[in-house]
Structure 1
Amino acid sequence: MRPADLQDIVDAVRTAGTDTATVEVKSGGGGVGKSLWPTISAFSNTHGGVVILGLDEATGFTPAPGFDARRVLNQMADVARPRSGSEPAGPLTPTPAMSVDQMEVDGASVVVAEVEELPAAEKPCFVTAQGKERGTYMRVGDGDHRLDTYSVFQLSVLTVPSNADREPVMQARIDDLDSSLIARTVARLRASRPRALDGTSSERDVLERVGVVDRDTGVPTLGGLLALGRFPQQFFPQLMISFASYPGGSKDVIVGDERMDDRAVLEGSIPDMIDDAVSVVMRNLRVRRVSKGAGAQDVPEIPIDAIREAIANAVTHRDYSELARGDQVRVELYPDRLEVHSPGGLWGGRDVESIFDGQSRSRNQLLARLLTEVPFADRNETVGENAGSGIPRMLGEMTQNGLPAPRFQSTPASFVTVLDRFGLLNPETREWLDSLGGRQRTTIGDNALALIHHLGSVTVDDLRRQLAIDTTVAQAALTDLVSEGIVRNERGTFELTPEAESGTELTPTQRKIVDALSHGGTMTVHELAESLHTPVSTLRPALRTLVSAGKVHATAPPTSKNRAYRI
């Protein structure tokens, strides 16, 4: 790390007044204490980070008196050194990948450790004395969060294919499989994969060959039952899809007397569950009439193919191990978005940034292959292609229809796909763009500004992915907005300038917020959402603008759960 980089980090934590998701500062007055081990575990298991020893948070991150940099440097170097097989384990297992150096801040010596994220195959890194199950941490905000048993298990098998879909279901019989679906699937297999069936003389032989039936026991496998079963939930009640439509921006918001607008439990084989889940989502979406040729058609808020891909990915790639069989795939609809929750994090040693590359990696290899051959009940189409095309297709469907790109959130225990219900350039956003006045307007520039207005900030890569444009085009668009004084570049993150945030006139949403707060009360964003019947995601950018313009006062920092607003 260069001295200038260290100074930038120190300046940032001094400004924030606290540690961050990637920076931990400790005084180190008594040397390296045990309290540091969870932090290094968390950085190793999350996205890496920087530990600075020798600055005192209590005095505004100024040099700590009496700090012995040489002693601490030696202690940290011992933590990072490789150990032979005959040596006892160090304080962390496996040994973290980190570099340690002595540097200066304000003329005083400090020790800086740069911790790298461990490769997926080496995770989890845990505090040796606490053991793997109780000593594995991840970084959440500025704190170290100890993982539960299931999350630790998921971190441990990030690159290990699951055998859960191959397990025989001992309570089941072949009669529990759908005979008509079997016949159609076997016919497809004979046409598409004739070599795979060489030497088979009966339908039973085919089912054993492709893993629908376990050869040793003669009973259906879990994957076979899920793909071809009449009613798999007879044996696994929670391996279904639940649907709920909520009236507010989160589950805890109640509008009137309604906690839910609609709910459903979708059961049956995977193809049937997907079809039924898509249908129940569609009946809760608004549609608009669009002219097409000599006629017209109804176009839903979210493209149906994007919804189908999100749900199909969830049920195909979820965790089916015993620890996860008590959890279902959850499809949740809010006024501004659709969320699809799948048990088990992103598998295969990948991160969210890499899943747009079109590679196919399957936690459940047998099930994923079966679902390329098992047709839907009413058509010859199958659930998937097992070719890594699902995410790119979802991206294309959303962006081609003027919607933000799919968003993904991954933890060791779950994977969430978020599809927004509204286009970037909705009437309120267009009104805000018009209020910015005299600038050279372009479609990409307007879309970029709308994204920043909606998300708070973007990087070049965010813009490239969200708008499905080249990196050079995204960079040029953001550079133009910076040169016009509408956007500022904060170390690669682009956000609106205060002047652009404030605009010239209050938008309708801003005006509603000001009116709601004008009686002298204090309200959280969720209270405002309930009072104004407006999604939280619509209120947040409006509140940022009002706070930046000084028209509304926030009672706590943006990261605080207690943040509320008043005039």
Structure 2
Amino acid sequence: MRLSTDVWESVSAFTNTSGGVLLLGLDERNGFSPAKHFDIDKVRDQFIEGIGDGGVSGARLGNPPRYVMNRADVDGKQILVIIIKENEIGEKPCYIKAKGIESGSYKRIDDKDVRLSTMEIYEYRNALVPSKADNTIVPESDINDLDPQLVSALIERKRQSKALLGASTREEQLERLNVVDKQGAVKLAGLLVVGKYPQQFEPKLLIDVAAHPGTEKSEPGMPRFLDRVLCDGSLPGAIDDALHAVVKNLRTVSHVRGVGRVDECEIPEAAIREAIANAVIHREYHPYFTGQSVSVDIFRDRVVVTNPGGLWGGKTLENIADGSSRCRNVILMQLMEEAPVSNSIGSTVEGQGSGIAMMVRLMRDRGLREPEFKASADQFTVVLHRPDVADIVARPVREDDTVVKQQRVEPTKRMEEFLALLDDGSEKSARELAEEANVSIETARRALNDLLRAGKIQATAPLNSRNRKYRVV
């Protein structure tokens, strides 16, 4: 009995994802009973040789993983249990040599081994290599494609720095600041930060903001978008435009303090700006990825900011908030630190590695769920959870309390059905109402949130309380 070639696909997939366990000696087609004629010693030797521990000449894998091998008894027979460890950053992808790195690299999705895309392989191979993409020359562009006002503002902010010492001409100054090269050709970072219209040359390097009616994209029976804005132009302006597009699609919370009132977005605007700015600055600008935009999706319960390109420079979900600053696009970061924010004396970014911690603090201080971070080989996502409207609408208005401006909500048949179920003056939980209406609990919660937003019902307890019920206002 010889090892199936599928085993090496699974080893590659486990190594490139989050590890896994191989059970060798079980017959899947026969209810995972012990396989007949299974020679445990022979299979052990084949695995050890194939992974490279029996000699380099027999190794089947490039970047093989660490592993732990044990024996286990199943129905009186022994099988091999092999624990495959995930490789560290810089040691991926693990691939099958005979197929080559492009065709022989896999990842694990559910119970399947799926080939890595070209972009995922690129990200793994360059996870610790500073990118030069932002330093590349943009073909067909020249200094006339730069915005004179943005250029002047950038130079003015750097005028007293050593960077411009002895640089007397505008061309010399732009070269020192890495906006152009020695021949005056425009670099990608320079075009993105102080260009008149960078999308003339890179149409997808913008921020795509979309507001969706439900909790997922393209839900059946709902319009595809409630609002969509493509925020283009130079990056500082695009970030401002994207922030405005998000805020206008969120609720406004009013804090009543004494005889005055302060209006603010339901999610801290500074947290939204930070998530968008990080996505723009830390995204991947290699040509593999320039066909993708940064996306901001506004759902009923959350705002999701996604950028092309995974985490870089040894950053992981475990250490992302440690305060250290690592950026694959160093020239872009340098320019964005000096690019003025419109109508402000501040900068678009600060580059000190405190952005993630700031987002967490801002959300926590407002009593909201902490941001959720998700990372894959070729993209990174920040999720900012919106507050349940019932938590701020259902309470009486008093000094120092918080209320929400009501939004017009057109009634649906589902909302009318749930309102009728509560019209007898009773108080019922979402689960009770779901059972009465014969719908899923998620469908019930969506209808109840719409009724809350319309001011038709009240919640009797805070979000996530086991005792939370609903009643007609």
Does the aligned pair in 2 maintain the 1:243–1:264 contact within 8 Å? yes
Cα distance, 1:406–1:515 mapped onto 2, change above 3 Å: same
SS in 1 for 2:103: coil
Alignment map for 1:137-536 (pairs within 5 Å): 137-191=106-160, 194-215=161-182, 217-256=183-222, 258-292=223-257, 294-422=259-387, 426=391, 508-517=429-438
Unpaired runs of at least 5, structure 1: 1-29, 431-504, 518-522, 536-541, 546-567
Is 2:102 aligned against 1:133?
yes
Post-superposition shift, 1:165? 0.3
Post-superposition shift, 1:123? 0.9
Give the counterpart letter for 1:360 in structure 2.
Answer: S
| Structure 1 CA distance for aligned equivalents of residues 71 and 277 of structure 2 | 51
| Structure 1 CA distance for aligned equivalents of residues 124 and 258 of structure 2 | 52
Q: Pick the aligned partner of 2:44 from 59, 67, 73.
A: 73
Post-superposition shift, 1:102? 3.1
Is 2:35 aligned against 1:64?
yes
Q: Name 1:441's counterpart in structure 2.
A: none
Does the aligned pair in 2 maintain the 1:306–1:397 contact within 8 Å? yes
Is 2:44 aligned against 1:44?
no
Post-superposition shift, 1:262? 0.7
Post-superposition shift, 1:533? 7.2
TM-score of the two chains, using structure 2 as the length reference: 0.82
Post-superposition shift, 1:95? 2.6
Identify, as 1 or 2, the structure richer in helix.
1
What's the CA shift string for 1:51-70, capped at 9, x where partnerless? Answer: 12123445554443432211
Does the aligned pair in 1 maintain the 2:204–2:291 contact within 8 Å? yes
SS in 1 for 2:178: coil
Cα distance, 1:351–1:60 mapped onto 2, change above 3 Å: farther
TM-score of the two chains, using structure 1 as the length reference: 0.69
| Structure 1 CA distance for aligned equivalents of residues 444 and 46 of structure 2 | 51
Post-superposition shift, 1:377? 2.9
> What is the percentage of aligned positions where both structures have the same residue?
38
Unpaired runs of at least 5, structure 2: 396-425, 452-462, 467-473
Cα distance, 1:524–1:135 mapped onto 2, change above 3 Å: farther
Post-superposition shift, 1:507? 5.1
| Structure 2 CA distance for aligned equivalents of residues 347 and 218 of structure 1 | 30
Post-superposition shift, 1:121? 1.2
What's the CA shift string for 1:427-446, capped at 9, x where partnerless? Answer: 8999xxxxxxxxxxxxxxxx
Cα distance, 1:259–1:105 mapped onto 2, change above 3 Å: same
Post-superposition shift, 1:41? 0.5
SS in 2 for 1:345: coil
Post-superposition shift, 1:160? 1.3
Give the counterpart letter for 1:406 in structure 2.
Answer: P
Cα distance, 1:37–1:304 mapped onto 2, change above 3 Å: same
Q: CA RMSD in A?
A: 2.9
Q: Name 2:403's counterpart in structure 1.
A: none
SS in 1 for 2:209: strand
Post-superposition shift, 1:175? 1.9
SS in 2 for 1:422: coil
Give the counterpart letter for 1:249 in structure 2.
Answer: T
Alignment length (residue pairs): 424
What's the CA shift string for 1:127-183, capped at 9, x where partnerless? Answer: 222221122111222222222222222222111111110001131111211222222
| Structure 1 CA distance for aligned equivalents of residues 173 and 259 of structure 2 | 49
User: Which has the higher relative contact order, 1 or 2, with Cα contacts under 8 A spaced 6 or more apart?
Assistant: 2
| Structure 1 CA distance for aligned equivalents of residues 391 and 164 of structure 2 | 54
Cα distance, 1:252–1:287 mapped onto 2, change above 3 Å: same
Post-superposition shift, 1:371? 0.7
| Structure 2 CA distance for aligned equivalents of residues 391 and 107 of structure 1 | 53
Cα distance, 1:169–1:292 mapped onto 2, change above 3 Å: same
Post-superposition shift, 1:530? 7.5
What's the CA shift string for 1:16-71, capped at 9, x where partnerless? Answer: xxxxxxxxxxxxxx442111111110111112222121234455544434322111
Post-superposition shift, 1:255? 4.9
SS in 2 for 1:355: coil
Post-superposition shift, 1:105? 4.4
Cα distance, 1:525–1:144 mapped onto 2, change above 3 Å: farther
Does the aligned pair in 2 maintain the 1:200–1:206 contact within 8 Å? yes
Post-superposition shift, 1:339? 0.7
